[in-house]
Amino acid sequence: MTASDARPDIERALLDPAAVFATPEEVRDHRALSREQKIEILQRWEYDAADISVAVEEGMPGAEETLLRRITLALQAIAGPLDLDRTGASKHHGLSRGAVPRKG
């Protein structure tokens, strides 16, 4: 799917962003998605990627760390500066909802 494609399956994207989008940048650049939809999809993708990263727990940056960084950069491009000090209480320390500005 490219940024110029028709509206993606939002429900599926919220359940499994990687099944609908090839990259976080594709979400960021998609013209048919609202700002709020992009943020929600990227936050869910960030949660999934952080969860996988915890499961691996080998201490070496790998694909999960790179994906987490790309998701964070895409979120920042859409929402503005993130409060990276506000992480979730779970073991994977994903971004809390309050870390992402909702109004731009």
pTM: 0.69
d(CA 28, CA 37): 10
93 in any annotated domain? yes
Residue-level pLDDT at 85:
75
Collapse the DSSP code of 81 into the 3-class scheme (helix H, G, I; strand E, B; otherwise coil) and give the result: coil
Residue-level pLDDT at 12:
97
2 in any annotated domain? no
| Mean pLDDT per 10-residue section of the chain, whose length is 104 residues | 72 96 97 96 90 63 76 91 68 58 61
4 in any annotated domain? no
Question: Residue 102 corresponds to which tokens in the numbers above?
Answer: 């909702």
104 in any annotated domain? no
Residue-level pLDDT at 62:
60
Residue-level pLDDT at 61:
56
d(CA 51, CA 93): 9
16 in any annotated domain? yes
Residue-level pLDDT at 68:
86
The parent domain of residue 78 ranges over: 10-99
